[in-house]
Amino acid sequence: MSNLQITGYKCKHCGRIHYPRHEQCLQCHGREFESIAPEGNATLLAYTQIFNLPWGFDERFLIIGVAQFGNGIKSMGQIKAESLDQLHTGMQLRPVWEPVRYVYGEPVYGLKLEPMG
Q: Give 2's pLDDT tier (boundaries 50, 70, 90).
A: very low
54 Cβ contact partners less than 8 Å away, ≥ 6 residues apart:
none
Percent of the chain with pLDDT over 70: 97
Domain of 47, CATH number, reads 2.40.50
pLDDT of residue 34 exceeding 80: yes
Residue pLDDT, tens place only, 40-73: 999 999 999 999 988 777 788 999 999 999 999 9
Show the domain range for 47.
38-115
Domain-embedded: residue 7: no
Domain-embedded: residue 15: no
Could you give the CA distance from residue 56 to residue 110 in angstroms, rounded to a whole number? 14
Could you give the CA distance from residue 97 to residue 1 in angstroms, rounded to a whole number? 10
Domain-embedded: residue 83: yes
Domain-embedded: residue 22: no
Strand partners, 106: 103
Domain-embedded: residue 90: yes
Domain-embedded: residue 76: yes
pLDDT of residue 1 exceeding 50: no
Could you give the CA distance from residue 51 to residue 43 in angstroms, rounded to a whole number? 24
